[in-house]
Amino acid sequence: MSNLSISYYFPFTRVKLVNQVFFDQMSSVMIWVEPDLRFDPCCHRCGKKAGYIHSHDHHRAVRDLNLGVTKTWLDVAYRKIRCDECDTVRVEFQSFCDASRRVTHRLARYIHDLCKVMTVQDVARHLDLDPKTVKAVDYSCLQEEFGQTDYTGLRILAVDEIALKKGHRYMTVVLDYLTGRVVWMGEGRDKNTLDEFFKGMTAEQKNAVEAVAMDMWEPYINRVGHHCPRAKIVFDFFHVVKAFGKVIDEVRRDEYRKASVEHKKVLQGSRYLLLKNVENLKDDQKDRLGELRGLNDTLNNIYLLKDQLKTIFWYVNRDDAERALDTWCAMADRIDHSSVRRFARRLRFFEYGILNHCDYAIGTGKLEGVNNKIKLIKRKAFGYHDPDYFALKVKQAFPGRLASEE
């Protein structure tokens, strides 16, 4: 007598397997599942026992994990019950699937695991499922794990934006600087955006924030100062130097327009010579840069300013950093160009955020690295039309590290 049975592969409770049919052409199997009458039906919502059975003989098809290469479908018979606790008619509880979902719990977990390394379209093709079903399952699992913003242990933050798509559509990213965890993402980069982030924090959690790294974007500055007045705002070195790079380019273009025909040949195509660090230049580029600086005093002075600007962020003493900033602004004021003087005034206005770097040597460099990986996630899926789903995928990709892992 054979002891072979498929029931070992379906360890579901409160139900029994009653029949199966294999469809050779479709390489699939249908297994009929019925309630085990030894158990009283329970409400799928509250778990309470049914007051009475409302109706029998309801069926739905539920997809399960494949058996080898064979697609497995369950024809699930269920009852509707009257739940006294919910005071309405409910579908009875079944341990292996939700009342509203057409895949089993174990298939849902498998889909979710695949979506960590594959796109929704790839998973759908692999399992022969509708992409909408795959996305809905993955979204539901992500929502359970990352749907609620976790504000615990936040002391030092980094805030930056990432382009969601063309047309100036952005998402703001908030990073726990110490652990590398993406805490929150939201559409936009204005005041209302960060208000959405901070409204979930308690007063104690806001007071626990010591410092926030960001660029000199006033809506971010305004809301951080409003919600976390004790936190020190630290401007990122990379963004300050990048902003001055735009000034250098404006000066270069103006000097090119004023130059003679002979000098224009030297100035032409010199943009990246002025913006690159000298250690990154090739020997022939260094020679050309020397010729360019010897040819034009304004460009020579502004090149010196670029190098001097970086040194301000090297200081650990606020007084030393302040003197270096004063010296830099005085040098900038001597250059006869409106863009340079305007940038110097901007540095003066945001002086506090530059000097705070002495107390907290942080920046958005970590977040820039995160943003590059976020762009890879976006490109891999050819973009995300659902910002909420995209935010959950990013939070899944950057759960942060524990203190014990540091």
Q: Is residue 151 in some structural domain?
A: no
**268/348 same-domain check:** yes
CA separation for the pair 401, 115 (Å, rounded):
21
**268/317 same-domain check:** yes
Dihedral (CA of 49, 55, 56, 62) sign: negative
Q: What residue numbers bound the domain in which 384 lies? A: 156-236+363-405
With cut-offs at 50, 70 and 90, classify the pLDDT of residue 330.
very high
**4/53 same-domain check:** yes
What are the tens digits of pLDDT across the range 158-194?
A: 998 888 776 668 889 999 999 999 999 999 988 899 9
**Is residue 319's pLDDT more than 90?**
yes
**Is residue 405's pLDDT more than 70?**
no
**327/287 same-domain check:** yes
**16/43 same-domain check:** yes
**Angle subtended at Cα 148 by Cα 137 and Cα 213, rounded to the nearest 5 degrees:** 120
With cut-offs at 50, 70 and 90, classify the pLDDT of residue 382.
low
Averaged confidence pLDDT in the chain: 89
Q: How is the beta sheet containing 211-214 ordered, strand by strand? A: 181-187, 169-176, 156-165, 211-214, 232-235
Nearest to 395 by CA among 116, 164, 193: 116
**3-class SS string, the chain:** CCCCCHHHHCCCCCEEEEEEEEECCCCEEEEEEEECCCCCCEECCCCCECCEEEEEEEEEEEEEEEECCEEEEEEEEEEEEEECCCCEEEEECCCCECCCCCEEHHHHHHHHHHHCCCCHHHHHHHHCCCHHHHHHHHHHHHHHHHCCCCCCCCCEEEEEEEEEECCCEEEEEEEECCCCEEEEEEECCCHHHHHHHHCCCCHHHHHHCCEEEECCCHHHHHHHHHHCCCCEEEECHHHHHHHHHHHHHHHHHHHHHHCCHHHHHHHCCCHHHHHCCHHHCCHHHHHHHHHHHHHCHHHHHHHHHHHHHHHHHHCCCHHHHHHHHHHHHHHHHCCCCHHHHHHHHHHHHCHHHHHHHHCCCCCCHHHHHHHHHHHHHHHHCCCCCCHHHHHHHHHHHCCCCCHHHC
With cut-offs at 50, 70 and 90, classify the pLDDT of residue 355.
very high
Q: Considering the entire predicted model, what is its pTM?
A: 0.83
CA separation for the pair 123, 92 (Å, rounded):
30
Number of domains composing the chain: 4
With cut-offs at 50, 70 and 90, classify the pLDDT of residue 18.
very high
Q: Is residue 382 in some structural domain?
A: yes
CATH code for the domain in which residue 400 is found: 3.30.420.10
Q: Is residue 306 in some structural domain?
A: yes
**9/74 same-domain check:** yes
**260/346 same-domain check:** yes
**207/267 same-domain check:** no
